[in-house]
Amino acid sequence: MRNYRVNVNGNVYEVAVEEISASEVKAAPAAAPAPAPKAPAAAGAGEKITAPMPGTILSVNVSAGQTVKSGDVLMVLEAMKMENEIMAPKAGKVTSVAVQKGSSVATGDLLCTVE
């Protein structure tokens, strides 16, 4: 045992530290492996519509092959207890839908594509 006096923010503490040999040192537990990255959803041709913020998809109002007009609501994303309408940026045809109702998304995740 070794005794030390430690000063922390003006308070003096006396501590006793036990010395151990190298053979007594336990190996640190192995770190958990990093989670595998999410495989990107298959994207169709056209403009990619991505999640502007993390949240949960409350409804998906379009399907692949459907024709939409600029400003049509493609889906509703709930974030921080607010419902956010994801609208079509242009008129065209939905070439793919990468999410479904109840999906959790992160910022930048692909939601759908419009050609």
- Domains in the chain: boundaries: 47-114
- C-alpha 9, offset from chain centre: 40
Distance (Å) of CA 26 to CA 16, 21, 30, 111: 20, 10, 12, 48
Do residues 77 and 103 make contact, with C-beta atoms less than 8 angstroms apart?
A: no
Tens of each residue's pLDDT in the chain, 115 residues: 888 898 888 888 888 888 877 777 665 455 555 555 454 445 567 899 999 999 999 999 999 999 999 999 999 999 988 999 999 999 999 999 999 999 999 999 999 999 9
76's CB contacts (< 8 A; 6+ apart) are 57, 58, 59, 61, 83, 84, 85, 86
Instruction: Name the class of domain 47-114.
Output: mainly beta
The structure's pTM equals 0.61
